[in-house]
Chain A
Amino acid sequence: MLQVKRRTIFFYLLPIIVMILLINMTPILYTLFLSFTNNTEFNESYNFVGLANYIHLIFTSDSDLYYVLALTILYVIVCVALFVLVGMVTALALNHRLVKGSAIWMSLLLVPWAAPSAITALIWKFLFNYDFGPINEIGRVFFGAKFGIPWLTNPVAAFIAVVIVNVWLSYPFFTVVMLGALQSVPKEMGEAASVDGANAWQTFWQVTFPQLRPAVTPITILSAITTFQMFTTVYLITAGGPITDPARPGATTFVMIYMYNQVLGASAANIHYAQIAAFAITVFIILGALTFLARALGARRSEAPV
């Protein structure tokens, strides 16, 4: 701790204060303000309407909120379950006493993690292409010339596609963390269990898994939060589509994509900025609750700028 003049403290803090007030706080406060007005693209007025936008969002039967939230939560659950499963199986395989050279395997498996995700998203879109994409081409090798999965035009296939890409991006992180935890489990514990007559399955669930749990819990919550607010990867592959019912958002329209399409989408005739702001604040409250929960459980959020 240094004893300095007040002026010096102020001088050191000034840049960050100006920056945070101007660029971080103002847009948030503006969005909050906007959510209590009736501002749209055409009327350009800021009449105070109280909670009307929130009431419309939450209680109107044709509100997209619940559809989009349910879709996002489904995506989060499927993705995170697969992260844990694939990450754990891979970590167990690498930790197996018969597998040699786990460092080399690991560095190969880590490549998706190090690659810039926005670029790999576009590459995956290329791979999913119906006619020229290699995934369908591999399928044609095995199932004949007529084979083809409509990856980006069928709602279920598009959902599966963005799950595959997210698993590809994220499971290496889980493998690294779980391998670290596995390597700190003393081998004697497993041996002791098998001497006592436990089979491999029992040994895993009763001995190994409890040792993994402290490492797995925080990263599971962490990736649930990042998956919840996932935007770039999914948007670049599907842009929220495909839309099958004109009254509903597309099959991969998760919360962030929904917001973005509402503001920027070509379909929006008269953009209702106030309602979009109310949606944004609602999402922020949900995210804030999740983050608070994560911090209470000892996780630290990783940072993505903007």
Chain B
Amino acid sequence: MSEQLPGRILNAKSGAISAGGTAPVARARVRTQSRAQVARLRFLRNLPVILLYAYLIVMVIFALFPMYYVIQASLAGDQNLYATSLQLFPVNPTFSNYVYAFTREPVFNWLLNTTFVCLLSTAIGILFSITGAYALSRFRFRGREASLSLLLALQAFPGLLAITAYYYLLEYLNLLNTAPLVGLALIYAAGSLVFGTWNMKGYFDTIPVDLEQAAMIDGATMQQAFWRVTLPLATPALAASALFMFVGSYTEFALANFVLNANSNGSNLTFILGLNALQGTYTTPWGYFAATSVIISIPLMALFLYARRFFQSGLTVGGVKG
């Protein structure tokens, strides 16, 4: 099936190219050659183009196939997914899997739990990293260089290596049984704090300190200068950092799996744990799994598309605006 589509595109393309370039010369030769020979010559001349496009089409199929397959599987109802022959198009498209996911599975609970963890961890991470980054960028104090090196060293340490210690820490803070989601958010926030601080500090460094000094000469306090002048200018970096923090927490698996114990219907889990649990047993409900993974991906992809405009200015140095 996929063999025919590239062929058609290529013929159109290569026809246009050969007609444009060498037409007069070729036409002179055509009289002395048979039609088959001309076709063969034209094919050989266009072979590089054909191979290039064939390669690109294979790569695009490779890139998009998993998403395509899951979307069509989510629409395919339930029965035909248990066939062992290939189904690439849903024969009778139906939303029954989505209805099931929303009514029988605790998808709304997962959404609430995950959103809660992500918002809390992003809020803590952003608030703490902007004050810390501002101090590291604007103030000079003993131990400043050492703190920056320490942050870099911390960044090299994958939190996963200390997973037992995190468990004990949450137990010690009495969060493990009372509010495990708050505990998760705290650890995610601390994990993203290092990146956030470095990113924000780099951006603050590019905003001239003269702006704040001017504001302070005009009568603003230092606090006002920070919150009203510098911070609004740092919006792109703020948005990029927040997005990274949010997305990082959205699908974190290792620690959440360690800390959260599923209750009877799994309504206290985060998205990714719930989705993983769907696949756990011998009789995986593929249709429900597909529908749920589409539901989970949509908010994140939407967020990504919305926030893309912040990326270029937010993660590169040198973005003084205004």
Interface residues of A (CB under 8 A from B): 1-2, 4, 6, 8-9, 12-13, 15-16, 19-20, 22-28, 30-31, 34, 89-90, 93-94, 96, 98-100, 105, 108-112, 114-120, 122-127, 129, 131-132, 134, 136-138, 140-141, 145, 168, 172, 229, 231-232, 235-236, 256, 259-260, 263-264, 273, 276-277, 280-281, 283-284, 287-288, 291, 301, 303-306
Asked whether A306 and B156 contact (CB < 8 A) given A115-B297, A273-B164, the answer is no
Chain B interface residue bracket vs A: 35 or more
Q: Which residues of A are found within 8 Å of B161, using beta-carbon distances? A: 31, 256, 259, 280-281, 283-284
Asked whether A140 and B84 contact (CB < 8 A) given A90-B59, A124-B66, the answer is yes
Shortest A282–chain B CB gap in Å is 10
The 8 Å CB contact of A287, one of B129, B156, B192, B304, is B156
* B119, CB-defined interface residue at 8 Å: no
Q: How far is the CA of A273 from the CA of B59 in the complex (A)?
A: 45
Shortest A179–chain B CB gap in Å is 13
**What 4 pairs across the A-B complex have the smallest Cβ distances?**
A27-B165, A16-B132, A303-B195, A23-B190
Q: Which residues of B are found within 8 Å of A20, using beta-carbon distances? A: 150, 154, 190, 193-194
The 8 Å CB contact of B132, one of A2, A15, A109, is A15
**Contact string against A for B residues 196-207, beta-carbon threshold 8 Å, 1 for contact and 0 otherwise:** 010000000000
The 8 Å CB contact of B272, one of A22, A93, A119, A125, is A119
* B222, CB-defined interface residue at 8 Å: yes
Q: How far is the CA of A256 from the CA of B244 in the complex (A)?
A: 22
* B266, CB-defined interface residue at 8 Å: no
Q: How far is the CA of A305 from the CA of B249 in the complex (A)?
A: 7
* B56, CB-defined interface residue at 8 Å: yes
Q: Which residues of B are found within 8 Å of A30, using beta-carbon distances? A: 162, 165, 168
The 8 Å CB contact of B252, one of A111, A127, A306, is A306
* B82, CB-defined interface residue at 8 Å: yes
Of the candidate stretches B25-33, B47-55, B104-112, the one touching chain A is B47-55
* B248, CB-defined interface residue at 8 Å: yes
Contact A99 B158 (CB under 8 A): no
Q: Which of A34, A116, A125, A129 has the most CB of B within 10 A?
A: A116
* B85, CB-defined interface residue at 8 Å: yes
Given A2-B139, A23-B187, A273-B164, 6 additional A-B pairs, CB 8 A: A2-B138, A8-B222, A12-B132, A98-B52, A126-B70, A137-B85
Q: How far is the CA of A23 from the CA of B121 in the complex (A)?
A: 13
Contact A28 B248 (CB under 8 A): no
Residue of B nearest to A120 (CB): B66
Contact B253 A118 (CB under 8 A): yes
The 8 Å CB contact of A303, one of B134, B135, B244, is B244
* B217, CB-defined interface residue at 8 Å: no
Contact A301 B131 (CB under 8 A): no
Q: How far is the CA of A123 from the CA of B296 in the complex (A)?
A: 12
The 8 Å CB contact of B52, one of A8, A93, A256, A284, is A93
Shortest A166–chain B CB gap in Å is 13
Contact B155 A301 (CB under 8 A): yes
Q: How far is the CA of A111 from the CA of B247 in the complex (A)?
A: 16
* B262, CB-defined interface residue at 8 Å: no
Shortest B311–chain A CB gap in Å is 11
**Contact string against A for B residues 142-185, beta-carbon threshold 8 Å, 1 for contact and 0 otherwise:** 00000000100111111111111110110000000000000000
Residue of A nearest to B305 (CB): A114
Contact B53 A141 (CB under 8 A): no
Q: Which residues of A are found within 8 Å of B99, using beta-carbon distances? A: none
Q: How far is the CA of A253 from the CA of B138 in the complex (A)?
A: 46
Interface residues of B (CB under 8 A from A): 13, 17, 48-49, 52-53, 55-56, 59-60, 62-67, 69-70, 73, 81-88, 121, 124, 127-129, 131-132, 134-135, 138-141, 150, 153-166, 168-169, 186-195, 197, 209, 212-213, 222, 244-245, 247-255, 257-258, 272, 275-276, 279, 284, 286, 289-290, 293, 296-297, 300-301, 304
Contact B158 A305 (CB under 8 A): no
Q: Which residues of B are found within 8 Å of A111, using beta-carbon distances? A: 63-64, 67
Shortest B115–chain A CB gap in Å is 15
Q: Which residues of B are found within 8 Å of A112, using beta-carbon distances? A: 63, 66
The 8 Å CB contact of A132, one of B82, B194, B272, is B82
Residue of A nearest to B299 (CB): A116
Q: Which residues of B are found within 8 Å of A280, using beta-carbon distances? A: 161-162
Contact B160 A259 (CB under 8 A): yes
Q: How far is the CA of A46 from the CA of B289 in the complex (A)?
A: 45
Q: Which residues of A are found within 8 Å of B168, using beta-carbon distances? A: 30
Q: Can you identify 24 A-B contacts, CB atoms within 8 angstroms?
A: A2-B212, A2-B213, A19-B189, A24-B190, A27-B165, A27-B169, A96-B52, A99-B49, A105-B56, A114-B304, A122-B279, A123-B67, A126-B289, A132-B84, A136-B84, A137-B85, A229-B158, A256-B158, A256-B160, A264-B258, A304-B158, A305-B191, A305-B252, A306-B191
Contact A168 B63 (CB under 8 A): yes
Q: Which residues of A are found within 8 Å of B158, using beta-carbon distances? A: 229, 256, 284, 287, 304, 306
Q: Which residues of A are found within 8 Å of B289, using beta-carbon distances? A: 122, 126
Q: How far is the CA of A200 from the CA of B52 in the complex (A)?
A: 15
